[in-house]
Structure 1
Amino acid sequence: MKKTFTTVLAVILAIGAVLSGCGKQAAAEVDVSAVAQALQSGLTFQDEMNEIAESRLGDFYPTIDASTLNGFKMYKGASGATAEEIAVFQAKDAASVKEIETAIQTRLEDLKLQFEDYVPAEVKKITDAVTETSGNVVVLVVADDAAAAQKIVDEQLR
């Protein structure tokens, strides 16, 4: 009886290890460019969305060190009259994920301050922004349709 219990327990633990390993591997294989592109093409934006080069990361996220990233893709409204933004980060480690999440919260607070007097209607987009973390991937989407953005993010980060 003990031998059967031990065997069953070993099998259950092995299956659990395989399944948890698969989840970690999937998060590591996320292509940040593909996620950002899916969001850009799958959502409707008021503004033309321009790609932001990694060299300009500090202009928008000054506390994120590019050396802590395995990948980065960002699009921002070209005119500056909207708060529309897509930012997808792939961190090298869990500590960097926390820094990115903090930087995104700071970015959203800054955007609120910028737009509350300039274009108050944009504040709702900022307040409803989609922020999602899956493994070492962190996504921010500021768009009119937060529900549609969340759906695309969920599909991309599966």
Structure 2
Amino acid sequence: MLTGKGGEIMPRLGGFVLIALFAVCIALSGCNKPAAEIEITLDVDECADVLLETIAFQDILTAVSDEMATTLYQISEQDAVKQKVYVSSGATAEEIAVFEAADAVAAKRIEKAVLQRVAEQQASFKDYLPAELPKLNDPFILVRDKYVILCISDDNEKVKTKLDRLFN
């Protein structure tokens, strides 16, 4: 018997189904992590190498040792878990630096060091090669979670496109 007097069972059944669906929705929504909690991973070497191979640089960029990278950027070894840095011969200001920080707080310190490095390069190239200043005045800098990426080139849009692909 699906209906009693005046169809009382059907409305109760519909209410029960609605409550059950609501409970399932709440339970399933708890399975998803908020975007802020999803851990981002990036292969530092691959990222730097992809930028080196796909961005048109005027100069030949050379990898520097981890020790040289931390010295150039004045970064604590405790802050940088991994890094890959390519520098130009000095004929241009072009540079690639990809850092994996110990955590998001260390990434902020690395970002500050990257900005300081760019400021020092601006001062250095101001009289030496002023034609390089447009690159230094508009460097591509990305901080995402515990990663800090600097790319000084003529093509920030292409850098952004390449990084979007690496992060997704």
TM-score bracket, normalised by the shorter chain, equals 0.7 to 0.9
Deviations 1:110-156 (A, max 9, x none): 11111111111111011221111222111000012221122112222
Alignment match of 1:136 (pick from 146, 155, 159): 146
3-state SS, counterpart of residue 97 of structure 2: strand
Q: What's 1:73 paired with?
A: 84
Distance 1:22 1:102, change over 3 A: closer
1:107 to 2:114 alignment: no
1:154 to 2:164 alignment: yes
TM-score, scaled relative to structure 1: 0.86
Which residues in structure 2 correspond to 1:44-83 (within 5 Å)? 44-62=56-74, 64-78=75-89, 80-83=90-93
The root-mean-square deviation of aligned C-alpha atoms, in Å, is 1.9
Number of residue equivalences: 151
Higher RCO structure, 1 or 2 (CA under 8 Å, sep 6+): 1
In our comparison, the structure showing a higher alpha carbon Rg is 2
Deviation of 1:60 (Å): 1.3
Deviation of 1:12 (Å): 1.5
Point out where structure 2 has 5 or more consecutive residues left out of the alignment.
Answer: 1-17
The answer to whether the 8 A contact 1:57-1:66 is kept is no
Q: What's 2:4 paired with?
A: none
The answer to whether the 8 A contact 2:79-2:107 is kept is no
The answer to whether the 8 A contact 1:83-1:122 is kept is yes
Counting aligned pairs with the same residue, the percent is: 29
1:10 to 2:27 alignment: yes
Deviation of 1:23 (Å): 3.6
For residues 143 and 4 of structure 1, what CA distance do their matches in structure 2 show?
A: 54
TM-score, scaled relative to structure 2: 0.81
For residues 50 and 86 of structure 1, what CA distance do their matches in structure 2 show?
A: 10
For residues 81 and 115 of structure 1, what CA distance do their matches in structure 2 show?
A: 10
The answer to whether the 8 A contact 1:51-1:75 is kept is yes
Q: What's 2:48 paired with?
A: 36
For residues 50 and 128 of structure 2, what CA distance do their matches in structure 1 show?
A: 29
Deviation of 1:34 (Å): 0.2
Deviation of 1:86 (Å): 0.1
What is the one-letter code of the residue matched to 2:63?
E
For residues 51 and 8 of structure 1, what CA distance do their matches in structure 2 show?
A: 51
